[in-house]
Chain A
């Protein structure tokens, strides 16, 4: 029961890793210290969503998790999404819509949207709002982010209707 207090092991972006930590360390602090700086520190109190990452298929705030809570679980950060050269579909639409101003909220937005797309098959506005209600943006007034996300979701729904089951792979 009193496993090593100073390490934590979990699957990070598909790779099993062990990190030095301490009981009081937050997962966000650990990730950023280890170079995963796409996960942003915003409010540090579970309000803004800049630190959103995916824990066992669900979007969570890294600032409100102790690193030790991730033991044995699967953690996915924004680094598992697209890269600068090869952005994922939602990232491309964000750029196209001019939805990125300061950009600080965007990694969190992308992770919440990823959880949405991997969990749900129907993307009614109410469901989308529910998945995105924990991410604040102080630049855009959300309109352009919403337009970008809606484009991606509408395409997925259309593709599902056409019989292509490529979306909603199921979380994880």
Chain B
């Protein structure tokens, strides 16, 4: 993407105003790593939003609030009771990219291979969007990721934070990213959030991404889990339902069937991890 101008607003409202005025000629810049690969016909003005105090992680009630320009490496290093975001953050790209790339940049324009949307769907995260005049709106993950979120920001609105729930006792989270090597893009990413009650699955949120055109919840897998015992056989059986609502894609030399098998094995592993997490917390 060719830049014709680089501006550095000093407040959120100034940034929003600039982006609103610029329209398609403006582009918010956080880590900026993706901008180097995006193609546009005409040069754009980069609006640097990294100096607006949007880089932080704090616990607020039942949520961890992560500022939109928090680099992935900060998410990876953060540790707290009920926090589970570090595992997937470690598995995104390389050390140098994680130091620059931000959570907001990962989810404002969703690329098919992005890992964080999958995590945030399973976790039922909330996105906080600045809509001008000191106002914010909060959008739940199911709604936010129902379609490409980029269009939400066409009018200059700015993602300011992501709120992920603090995991409670009996809750567990697990994620699996299958890739050719540590730095490669995901072949398939799957996540599961389970709530157990006396060894049985009370609630489940399961999601997938990367081997499908856009990150997605897997309701049929969730239905196959609820009320059942949290054991491997049940996880495998539920994982086999994943093809009901999504069509696994053939890509990078993998056949459709190979992708499906990879996804199912990864799903079963993510469910095992989530259950182990939940059990570890209840003991």
Which residues of A approach B to under 8 Å, CB–CB? 1-3, 5, 23-24, 26, 45-47, 49, 52, 55, 58-61, 63-66, 68-69, 71, 112, 130-134
A126 to B100, CA, bound (A): 21
B96 close to A60 (CB less than 8 A):
yes
CA distance A37 to B218 in the complex (A): 50
Contacting pair B48 A134 (CB below 8 A): no
Q: Which residues of B contact A26 (CB under 8 A)?
A: 36
CB distance from A146 to the nearest CB of B (A): 15
CB atoms of A64 and B94 under 8 A apart: no
Q: Which of A2, A46, A64 contacts B5 (CB 8 A)?
A: A2
Rounded to whole angstroms, the CA-CA distance of A23 and B8 in the bound complex is: 12
B168 at the interface (CB under 8 A from A): no
Q: Which 9 A-B pairs have the closest CB atoms?
A: A134-B94, A23-B6, A68-B6, A58-B99, A134-B96, A23-B3, A24-B3, A134-B95, A61-B96
CB of B147 within 8 Å of the partner chain: no
Q: Is the CB of B6 within 8 A of A47?
A: no
Whether A1 and B37, one on each chain, are in contact in the complex, defined by CB atoms closer than 8 angstroms, is no
Q: Is there a chain A Cβ closer than 8 Å to B97's Cβ?
A: yes
Q: How many Cβ-Cβ contacts under 8 Å join chain A to chain B? A: 86
Cβ of A23: which chain B residues have Cβ within 8 Å of it?
3-6, 45-46
B37-93 residues with Cβ-Cβ distance < 8 A to A are 37, 43, 45-46, 48, 50, 73, 90, 93
CA A59 to CA B73, docked complex, whole Å: 11
Q: How far is the CB of B30 from chain A (nearest CB, A)?
A: 10
Total interface residues on B, CB under 8 Å, equals 33
Neighbouring B residues of A47 by C-beta, 8 Å: 94, 183
> Which residue on A lies nearest to B10, using beta carbons?
A1
B183–A5 contact, CB under 8 A?
no
7 A-B pairs with CB atoms under 8 Å apart are A1-B14, A24-B4, A64-B33, A65-B100, A66-B46, A68-B46, A112-B96
Give the chain B neighbours of A59 by CB distance below 8 A. Answer: 95-96, 99
Complex CA–CA separation, A133 to B37 (angstroms) = 22
**Are B6 and A66 in contact, CB atoms less than 8 angstroms apart?**
yes
Measured CA separation A131–B90 after assembly (Å): 11
Contact residues in A for B18 (Cβ distance below 8 Å): 1
Q: Which residues of B1-21 have CB atoms within 8 Å of chain A's CB atoms?
A: 2-10, 14, 18
Select one of A1, A112, A131 contacting B8, CB under 8 A: A1
| Cα separation A91 to B4 with both chains bound (whole Å) | 40
Interface residues of B in 111-144 (CB under 8 A from A): none
